[in-house]
A and B are shown apart, each in its own frame.
Chain A
């Protein structure tokens, strides 16, 4: 955990691919490039061949506006594209068609807000731009003997979301990203589970130091790691020296940030209007028609979970931070389970498991129906909560039909049966029994032995009664 006295300020620049689109931003190549052989999902436009011109994909603009509306941003009244000029091998034209909020330009939207755990994180702007190509190296960027460029990704629609530097801890940065992903998934414009669909650069400064930008961060978890490393690094430097403005590269193998270039001033991108695309004025009607297609957002869903379903506010927050998780939860409810218990199980056990194993909700193999059946078995007292949870974890990632609640798993609550087991354990552990006769505090040890012998299936209350009764006959 980072201490607040460092006065950490974190700002994020998040690039989200609009994965639900059929085609790229400026040409008719398929938007789904992920299953294609390198450099097959291309055309003269997205490879920037001489003479080619961009044409706007109208649906991309609609989905971009949808995303902006979902984070409560103000939509501009006109759509304008600007060129961002810099030389890099992943840019087919050596300029990127993007947007700009200065020099007569305006971004798609501005001033949005995303809420995380009651904190409002402000967004400065939301803009639409084309994705560059993908470069592959052998090993690392500095040691690779070659660079391979795959243009399949070039021209994919990106929505860039830029936050104010209001995030105060690396943890918050991660929560922000999770929430943003959930929002985009709720409105159905971006599948954050696809590799590279949401990418982010992070800016961080601490008290007295300059802003450092970290690039090449692969996942939300890595964002937290990279920022934690960087905060510590900056703090260490700050004791001796002042942190200067620079761009650093996250090395996810060594888990350190490495200096890429020292930024003495802002890089000069020579932004100017893209004259190949005619500015397009948005009519109120157009924006309103998009508003009508908006589905329920995570915050509204959270409120509904709390008010209508009776989920605790903290569970509701966690559930709705991941659309797939919230969907799973709601599907379980279709099978008459206790919402509170179900939400507890999902938030503590399922999510805990997913985090430990570093897997996505999508990879859960157990169906909501089977899951609900398991919870109902616990509620009916057929199996213990502990057995239920154990069973759940075992079957989370295996096939659906693996969740067979067998009779051998049922809770043992018949006193006669418990009695038999207790007798057996007593016979095998004479010393422990003697101790327990003299000292009540060691009874728990006997309880443990019995639970072990029954794989926790023995009903604890009944077991305790039986043990007490037996011990009292021995005293």
Chain B
């Protein structure tokens, strides 16, 4: 499987057809899926159909888009018209959206071909993809280990060369974590840069759709396609990305390294590898300085309180009445009806978050939890904005550890939540953040995380490109 950039070149110059590319992808999927399980649904027929339409347009000499002929995998929390969309949950089994998410429309406009829907922790709640109702995804680097999550299916599909590009979503690190664990590039855009219309909400004030790719250039092509204002999402901004260049990172950049990103529980190998990269950047001429961000120690609880509260409300609509699966037990009384459906439709982790979220929003606890969390959120945002008055980027590890074994942490929710400690800040504040693979050791992929000021995704891509090529 070639890179996206190469595929577009080949398809546009008639070296191969879009259908050839789709067939290649489908072939590769057939080979690796039994072992990896990156996909919940492969939309074979629709993909071939779309490829033929694109080929016909090329034959007619039409002007083609920036992703012409590129097969792309889409996380199953993003609505795709006529393709089942389950959020990795039994409760949405059989749900076929009647509309495309805005990002899907944009992909189609640029000539990309949706090859299928990828596995995810149920409703994107997790960081290992073990909490999918349809079974876990394996890490292509080491099949006994998790691929990270919740966009584990998307990351694994890219890392195992099933597709060159995939869409993920990032609520507390769900793009960056699996990117780091699978050794690929993943970017969480600025909150509001990409339309959320069609993204099935887990925590709507935190999440963004973003690209996963094998290299920075491919990531940039996809990012450019996704960005832009959408009248259907009032939290989106008028901030299209014009020409995205990955070249020209200023080697005089100032990089802040919060010591809180290397807290308790950070593996030595991770520390060593991240500092190796940072030292190399200093050698190039970057100013790398260690700083302290005191509010960061509250980021994790702040994130979980906010996310769970929003989840408890966002997931209320799943009552089995209008779509998805329902229990056919003949209960007609409303409370029993929706309770039974939710009881059997949701998995344990989803229930845990709904219950905790419901609790934190309840009268008497609202002030102590939700409201306080929002105050700390504002404080963290201000703290990070202040850093960006002096520095161009913030850097640290994406994940405190290398990929853990499947099943290793599944019975310890707190251990599991701790994995998000370095990623959640960017979601609380809305800043863009990227994970760049830095360790080539096969079974211990590590990612370096970079944060930039609002709407400065291009800086992240440039820095990523430098690290990818020269460091």
- Cβ contact within 8 Å between B334 and A88: yes
Bound form: Cα–Cα A471–B312 in Å: 93
Contact with B along A73-115 (1 / 0, CB 8 A): 0000000000101011100111100000001100000000000
- Cβ contact within 8 Å between B366 and A92: no
Chain A, interface SS category? loop
Give min CB distance, A50 to chain B, whole Å.
Answer: 4
B423 proximal to A (CB < 8 A): no
Q: Which of A92, A270, A272 contacts B317 (CB 8 A)?
A: A92
A278 proximal to B (CB < 8 A): yes
Give min CB distance, B238 to chain A, whole Å.
Answer: 13
Give min CB distance, A148 to chain B, whole Å.
Answer: 12
Contact with A along B333-376 (1 / 0, CB 8 A): 01100100000000000000000001001110011001100100
* A270 and B98 in contact, given A87-B335, A87-B338 (Cβ under 8 angstroms): no
Name which of B176-184, B193-201, B246-254 contacts chain A: B193-201
Cβ–Cβ < 8 Å partners of B316 in chain A: 85, 87, 93-95
A52 proximal to B (CB < 8 A): yes
- Cβ contact within 8 Å between B197 and A51: yes
- Cβ contact within 8 Å between B366 and A103: yes
Cβ–Cβ < 8 Å partners of A334 in chain B: none
Cβ–Cβ < 8 Å partners of B199 in chain A: 51
- Cβ contact within 8 Å between A87 and B310: no
- Cβ contact within 8 Å between B322 and A272: no
Give min CB distance, B203 to chain A, whole Å.
Answer: 9
- Cβ contact within 8 Å between A55 and B234: yes
Bound form: Cα–Cα A266–B371 in Å: 20
Bound form: Cα–Cα A277–B236 in Å: 10
Give min CB distance, B341 to chain A, whole Å.
Answer: 11
Q: Which of A85, A88, A146, A276 contacts B204 (CB 8 A)?
A: A276
CB contacts under 8 Å to B, within A270-313, are 270-272, 275-278
Bound form: Cα–Cα A272–B198 in Å: 22
CB contacts under 8 Å to A, within B280-335, are 309-310, 312-313, 316-319, 321-323, 332, 334-335
- Cβ contact within 8 Å between B370 and A51: no
Residue of B nearest to A85 (CB): B313
Give min CB distance, A89 to chain B, whole Å.
Answer: 6
**Interface residues of A, count at CB 8 A:** 32
Cβ–Cβ < 8 Å partners of B332 in chain A: 146
Bound form: Cα–Cα A271–B370 in Å: 11
- Cβ contact within 8 Å between B370 and A275: no
Cβ–Cβ < 8 Å partners of A47 in chain B: 322
Bound form: Cα–Cα A278–B79 in Å: 23
- Cβ contact within 8 Å between B358 and A44: no
A53 proximal to B (CB < 8 A): yes
Residue of B nearest to A146 (CB): B332
- Cβ contact within 8 Å between A53 and B196: yes
Q: Which of A55, A95, A104, A271 contacts B231 (CB 8 A)?
A: A55
B233 proximal to A (CB < 8 A): yes
Q: Which of B85, B334, B370 contacts A272 (CB 8 A)?
A: B370
- Cβ contact within 8 Å between B234 and A278: yes
- Cβ contact within 8 Å between A50 and B196: no
Give min CB distance, A17 to chain B, whole Å.
Answer: 23
Residue of A nearest to B101 (CB): A51
A165 proximal to B (CB < 8 A): no
Cβ–Cβ < 8 Å partners of B101 in chain A: 51
Residue of B nearest to A268 (CB): B363
Cβ–Cβ < 8 Å partners of B234 in chain A: 53-56, 276-278
Bound form: Cα–Cα A195–B84 in Å: 40
Bound form: Cα–Cα A268–B359 in Å: 11
- Cβ contact within 8 Å between B309 and A272: yes
A38 proximal to B (CB < 8 A): no
A359 proximal to B (CB < 8 A): no
Cβ–Cβ < 8 Å partners of A44 in chain B: 97-99
Bound form: Cα–Cα A180–B98 in Å: 41
B388 proximal to A (CB < 8 A): no
A453 proximal to B (CB < 8 A): no
- 4 more A-B residue pairs beyond the given contacts A51-B101, A270-B361, A275-B235, with a C-beta to C-beta distance below 8 A: A51-B78, A51-B99, A87-B319, A268-B363
Could you list some 9 contacts between A and B, CB below 8 A? A51-B85, A51-B199, A53-B234, A95-B316, A103-B366, A270-B312, A270-B358, A275-B235, A276-B204
Q: Which residues of B contact A (CB under 8 A)?
A: 78-79, 85, 87, 92, 95, 97-99, 101, 196-201, 204-205, 231-235, 309-310, 312-313, 316-319, 321-323, 332, 334-335, 338, 358, 361-363, 366-367, 370-371, 374
